[in-house]
Amino acid sequence: MARYRKILVAIDGSEAGFHALQEAFKLAIDEKCWITVTSVAPPYQGDLSTTAVGNVQKALKEPAERALSIADQMAKKERILIKTVCEEGEPFERIIDLADAENCDIIVMGRTGKSNLERALVGSVTARVIGYTYKDVLVVPKGASAGWKTIVVATDGSKYSTAAGARAIDFASSYNGELKVASVVDVPPEFYGESPETVDKMIEKARGYAEGIKAQAVAKGVKADAVVMEGDSALSLTKLAVEKQADVICMGSHGRTGLRRLLMGSVAAKVIGLAPCPVLIVKS
């Protein structure tokens, strides 16, 4: 049974965006679902009374239309049918609205940041899409391949990470993959000296979260390991992904209420920026 019936891929004319589209083709084939591809022309910010409106709008739309033309060529080469939509307006709003209008289940985007700082900030469009949409979002780094053989799934015991765990189990079951279930205890160093018993309790609680998802996976015939790590959550998760050569990191999101945190550097934002593999943000 397909987990995703329809995919929306948002491209911006960058190599990272086209790479994400190429990876979305593989997901569409595996999931047997439809693809809609969109590129958004930004709104004109100048004084329309001093210029020819039609010419300005045409100039603003040209990069988006050119990107969609390339997407069409890519799809034909892969013998995949896609629907292309050129939108105009605030990019993150148009992407989210189109995903709703097309009844898409997941939004796929590329990671375009070049420097560590840019990657850590995720990108304002991506961050806002994740922060406001109720759809799952897959962020694909340039050069990374999407797959489901080895899945790192993060859990903190919340209903959001429970949803991510269920999604990860579903994929692992369908594609004969395995899970690395991780829960991270991130506390200030002084805690270890001032209240070691508190840290011990947190570690035990984290172990319970990880073991809980592992048990659910094993019950469905999925191979799974549970691990508890101590330290910075984002660095620990990305380090685990590197060590295990993960195909994807699966995380939950706190939905719209998490936008401010995401823009200011949440765990999800940092993982997306640092991850060597695609990151799937699952919405509850």
Give phi and psi for 5, each to the nearest 5: -90, -35
Single residue among 143, 169, 198 that ends a domain in this structure: 143
Q: Are residues 265 and 180 in the same domain?
A: yes
CA distance 46 to 235: 42
Helices and strands in the chain, H and E counts: 11, 10
pLDDT for the residue 192: 61
pLDDT for the residue 36: 97
pLDDT for the residue 1: 40
Residue 124's closest CA among 99, 93, 92, 95?
92
Give phi and psi for 172, each to the nearest 5: -60, -40
**Is 283 domain-assigned?**
no
Torsion of CA 130, 215, 232, 267, to 10 degrees: 10
Q: What is the largest CA-CA distance in the chain?
A: 70
Q: Across the 284 residues of the chain, what is the mean pLDDT of every consecutive 10-residue run?
A: 83 94 93 93 67 68 95 95 94 95 95 54 76 92 92 93 94 95 83 72 93 97 96 93 96 66 69 92 84
Quick one: how far is CA 208 from the chain centroid? 26
Q: Are residues 44 and 128 in the same domain?
A: yes
Residue 227's closest CA among 178, 265, 263, 276?
178
Q: Which domain holds residue 268?
A: 147-278
pLDDT for the residue 60: 82
Q: Are residues 131 and 165 in the same domain?
A: no
Task: Give how many domains the chain has, as a whole number.
Answer: 2
CA distance 29 to 50: 49
Q: Are residues 1 and 139 in the same domain?
A: yes
- Classified as helix, coil or strand, 150 is strand
**Is 284 domain-assigned?**
no
Distances (CA, A) of 282 to 14, 132, 180: 25, 13, 17
Whichever domain contains 232, its CATH number is 3.40.50.620
